[in-house]
Every structure is written in structure tokens, then in C-alpha cells.
Amino acid sequence: MASNPQKQPPPQLPPLEVPGDLQIEYVNLVRIAHSPSELVFDFAHLLPGTTPARVQSRIIMSPLGAKLFYRALAENLSKYEAAYGEISIPSGTSLADQLFRPPGPPNQPPEK
């Protein structure tokens, strides 16, 4: 007798409750550290010409949670680029040099 597997509905995501007083932080830097059992993400805000960067939030995830987050982020970036165009990453010695270099003199292009 052949079994008739029933099609499973897609899993339902749990509803999220966003508190009205939730602090929203802008970050432009993340430092990632790990141990065998967890990954630690320190999200920070770095202003040009200032040090140190100010950590706004620390997120600790299991390796499985981090890998699932990585996949979800890749999928969403792909959808974003399909809708709005490719996100270009500046080339040069380092991304920080590109993002946080001082502006050039007026009427001259910035250094490359």
C-alpha cells in the first residue's frame, strides 16, 4: 500500500512585538568574535576622526542561529539588489579608508 504524504503548510513565523519605547540605533561597524559554542556580534557606531567606536548593541547567537541569519541576510540582500540595483563596495586599501577618509579640498576629487 503506497502512502499518501500530505503536503505540509509552510512554517508560521512567530509574531513579533515591538515595544513603543524601543531604542533604534544606527551602526556602521561590527566586530565579530566566536567560541566553539557561540558567535558574538558587537555593533558599533564610528564617527570619522573619532576613536574608539561606541558599541551600541551586543548580540550573542548560537552557530546554527548565526548561519540561519547569514542565509536570511544573503537572501534579503539579493532581493534588495534585484529591486534597487547592485550594492557596490568601494575598492581601495580598506573599506574603512573609503568610508571614513577626510573630504578633499573644494573643487578637487577625493583621493583614490
Alpha-helical (H) ranges within the chain are 63-84, 95-100
Q: Is residue 108 part of a domain?
A: no
Task: Dump pLDDT digits (tens) for 57-102.
Answer: 999 999 999 999 999 999 999 999 999 999 987 776 665 665 555 5
Mean pLDDT, range 1-22, rounded to an integer: 80
Could you give the CA distance from residue 28 to residue 77 in angstroms, rounded to a whole number? 16
Domain-embedded: residue 92: no
Mean pLDDT across 20-35: 92
Residue 80: inside a domain: yes
Query: Is 0.85 topped by the overall pTM?
Result: no
CA distance 99 to 21: 31
Range of the domain at 48: 29-85
Nine cell digits for residue 84: 534597487
In a domain, 78, yes or no: yes
Number of domains in the chain: 1
Distance CA 81, CA 72 (A): 14
